[in-house]
């Protein structure tokens, strides 16, 4: 988890809402079958690009990128848990009323 000291806010910026929408979409696509590792890497890199101005969230994303299990496929449970963690981190940083409906 990200240390709350030096926490950033997305107030006045749509990037948090866009990133949360991305996470919501990916979470809705997680099914019971194995997930290609390359898809997870691509998604996390897209999220990293979207949140380039948020150093604490970049650290969190980098930690997930470095800990992706498996050689070519990943259990959906790991991916779903990762997405849930990132959704929670983003939701905590969005100003009230800025979260998007999924």
> What rounded mean pLDDT belongs to the chain?
84
Q: Which has more confidence, 44 or 95?
A: 44
pLDDT in tens, 8-42: 444 445 677 899 999 999 999 999 899 999 999 99
Q: Is residue 4 part of a domain?
A: no
pLDDT digits (tens, 9 = 90+) for 54-77: 899 999 999 999 999 999 999 999
Give the domain range for residue 33: 15-93
Domain membership flag for residue 8: no
pLDDT of residue 73: 97
Give CA–CA dist 11/29, Å, rounded: 28
Q: Is residue 78 part of a domain?
A: yes
71 in a domain, yes or no? yes
Q: How many domains does the chain fold into?
A: 1
Tokens of 55: 């150093």
In a domain, 98, yes or no: no
Q: What is the pTM of this model?
A: 0.79
Q: Is residue 3 a part of any domain in this protein?
A: no
CA-CA distances (angstroms) from residue 45 to 17, 32, 62, 95, 101?
17, 23, 9, 24, 23
- Does the residue 50 lie in any domain? yes
């Amino acid at each position: 988890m990200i240390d709350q000291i030096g926490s950033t806010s997305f107030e006045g910026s749509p990037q948090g809402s866009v990133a949360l929408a991305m996470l919501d979409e990916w979470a809705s696509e997680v099914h019971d079958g194995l997930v290609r590792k390359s898809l997870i890497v691509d998604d996390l890199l897209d999220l990293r690009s979207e949140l380039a101005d948020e150093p604490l969230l970049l650290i969190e994303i980098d930690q997930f990128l470095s800990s992706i299990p498996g050689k070519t496929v990943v259990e959906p449970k790991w991916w779903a848990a990762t997405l849930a963690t990132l959704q929670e981190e983003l939701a905590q940083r969005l100003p009230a009323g800025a979260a998007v409906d999924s």
